[in-house]
Structure 1
């Protein structure tokens, strides 16, 4: 009876949390979806239709992309780094007056190459074309990760994920980076060269590709590593050929000013910066202390990636750890970058469906899913500064699941050995 009770308890603990079932998932996600739709509709009404002062319509960040495209198409591409020129075009599209919060172009020439055709179309149409192209790529990545299911229970929280609506609000490139990173990781074991190409295309946002080479090297995936390096080289070469090599020099010159204005003054940045560095600055820590604390967390996250990828942990846990480290290593991330949180959540859902759950997993995953809602809070709260805590705790969930599995295997092996020894003695 004792053994039977132990087995029953083990099975009950490995099942999904009782408060997370298909019905509740649909209801909770539908409520958040209504909030997202309400905020989006409000911005459309006041920003696009009524043109209320200083209320930006959807696509306020895409306005910078479109303006950079126009400047590159009508003159030397290096003009995109002239803040006065780009503000002249972007500010009317953003429906805001000139202020200290400038809208500079701080993206690499590789991303300028991607948005170069944007100004061929009117701003609103171009925004929708780029938005839905990114959504299609992100949707494809989700279909490769999700476990097969007949109901749409999995899809409702994906559609309602607050970060996806923040990306749609801004017209940012996060759907594109989500798709490239998600598809790259899913292709890694079966089509490593294609995975390397997808990783290399993340050169549009280099800070999101810092941890990937580490994972490829420790797992000895030489084909993906070589493919990624070759893709980055060709991508940069093509950007230099089309846009001019001086765009790379201007990009290098623009970075220190951007760091001075945004990163070092992150305690005044709207909604806060969604990194450990941003959180430290929000709580009043001095600049060296903030950098030091961020470095400690970044090193820890990178060490987790090295450990899990070198130890050949399950694919889902390795993939989740890689994306979470990608979010913890850069010093600068904005709320729209939190779309990437959806990837580790999806992989943990798949891992839980296959291998069971441990206590607390569901709570942390739900908190991480809700974390981007901080964007809707008043700017003076800088609530995004609290998001790195959920990201780091979600990484601890990955580590705990891996350790629990190793302990479980060790106990199982010990039990089998004891049983075999008892049988021999009998």
Structure 2
């Protein structure tokens, strides 16, 4: 082996000594208590002893349920009318009218998914949908890391702050988590099914921007075709059941919401979890913030192109794709950081197989705890720091690929050299 190969093989070592099972349990137990404490405050001041503008659990699901109610009781396009939806949403959220409107800005494809929601009372509907989404996401976790079936592995999963952030809000993050997780798990062996799962991300299109790039670079033609057909079929079904006018209203609603986000981007409560949001939080002018975001997004997409074209290990390819998915859109919220769970699981699996590099543990723990920003005061805008964590984890993925490639190249050279010696004798 040459010096570079020896150095890389030494770099890939055992798990971090400071991150043993006992410490993991201790850290996870503490964070779990914090999660339970803040969730209890939501229940107490949102339901038991309501305080104005303290929303009980399910505040985002209130928007979904209200859109369903409007779609069931009139033309589905009414869901996009802020003047109609806010009188239904705000009482459910225990909110007084504020400049921060609560519009329905999702595509008709997601309205189709939520259409039956208002057939049940709000609380029961929220519980049924969120539990179903959580069960789907947990199955994806088990598919990625089967060791999670052991009781000792469940504590850090349950304590992951993004689980509580998405669950408390009643967000669809568990659904998108499961679609991406299962889709990537199927992409090599069941490409048509993977394409269907990716295509269903049309319910939240900004999370599917990088997936076609990865599929094309990885030469997963069947998954690419399947995803395109699924998007087309889902849009056609939504148009037939809800009316194709809903697509026109959705397109009209996007610029208004984008303008609203830009208007408040420098003082958004708890911050926007993107590079654009971080730049605006620190006072960067809007055009410069967009340029900075575009640079980082291009770098993230380039990492996906490189790793998928070079056929890196599945764990590293999948991790890079999810991390780029969090870096490319300009608007994400802390509950979207639930997707960080996917690269964390894949990197744990990859580390168990190929060894660890110093600093990997710090990056993984930082990513795991980062969604706790949902509990910080709104004035801190702490969610704006999340892109730093996401980018650091992407650098971990790239560094691991380079180290593994160097080791494997050295091992191949030794095999070739050994074969040469054998043939000469």
TM range, normalised to the smaller chain? Answer: over 0.9
**Which residue does the alignment assign to 1:3?**
none
Give the corresponding residue for 2:105: 106
How does 1:19-418 map onto structure 2 within 5 Å?
Answer: 19-148=18-147, 151-416=150-415
1 CA distance for matches of 2:408 and 2:9?
Answer: 14
Q: How far apart are the structure 1 equivalents of 2:242 and 2:423?
A: 76
Deviations, residues 349-408 of structure 1 (Å, cap 9, x unaligned)? 000011111110000000011111111111111000000001001000000000001111
- Contact 1:264–1:287, Cα closer than 8 Å, also in 2: no
Q: Indicate the RMSD between aligned Cα atoms, in angstroms.
A: 2.0
Cα distance in 1, alignment partners of residues 244 and 404 from structure 2 = 51
SS in 2 for 1:265: helix
Per-residue deviation at 1:262? 1.1
C-alpha distance in structure 1 between counterparts of 2:256 and 2:148, whole Å: 49
Which stretch of the first structure deviates more once superposed, 197-206 or 259-268? Answer: 259-268
CA distance in 1, matches of 2:257, 2:122: 26
Q: Which runs of 5+ in 2 are unaligned?
A: none
TM-score after normalising by structure 1: 0.95
CA contact (8 A) 1:163 1:339 kept: yes
Contact 2:12 2:403 in 1 (8 A): no
| 3-state DSSP of counterpart to 1:148 | helix
1:34 is paired with a residue of what secondary structure? helix
CA distance in 2, matches of 1:9, 1:187: 31
2:8/2:407 contact within 8 Å kept: no
Task: Say if 1:276 and 1:30 are closer, same or farther in 2 by CA, change over 3 A.
Answer: same
Structure 1 18/9 Cα, relative in aligned 2: closer, same or farther at 3 Å?
Answer: farther
Q: Please give the per-residue CA displacement for 1:6-56, whole angstroms capped at 9, x wherever unaligned.
A: 999967951000011222211211111111011101100110111222110
Q: Cα–Cα, structure 1 residues 242 and 420, in superposed 2: closer, same or farther, change >3 Å?
A: closer
Distance in 2, Cα, partners of 1:423 & 1:240 = 68
1:106 partner SS: coil
Gaps in structure 1 of 5+ consecutive residues = 1-5
1:228, 1:416 → 2: CA distance? 41
1:190 is displaced (CA, Å) by: 1.0
- Residue 268 of structure 1 deviates from its aligned partner by 1.6
Q: Deviations over 1:212-258 (max 9, x none)?
A: 00011111111111110010001000000111011000000000000
In structure 1, how many angstroms separate the alpha carbons of the residues matched to 2:421 and 2:68? Answer: 75
Q: Take 1:370 and 1:211, find their aligned partners in 2: how far apart are those partners?
A: 25
Once structures 1 and 2 are overlaid, which stretch shifts more, 48-57 or 294-303? 48-57
User: How far apart are the structure 1 equivalents of 2:218 and 2:143?
Assistant: 22
User: Normalization by structure 2: what TM-score?
Assistant: 0.95
More relative contact order, 1 or 2 (CA 8 Å, 6+ apart): 2
Whether the aligned pair in 1 keeps the contact of 2:142 and 2:148 (CA below 8 Å) is no
Structure 1 residue 265: Cα displacement = 2.5
Q: Return the alpha-carbon distance in structure 1 between the equivalents of residues 292 and 350 of structure 2.
A: 31
Rounded to whole Å, the distance in 1 between the matches of 2:314 and 2:417 is 31
Report how many residues are paired: 422
- Contact 2:62/2:93 (<8 A) preserved: yes
Structure 1: distance between partners of 2:265 and 2:7: 51
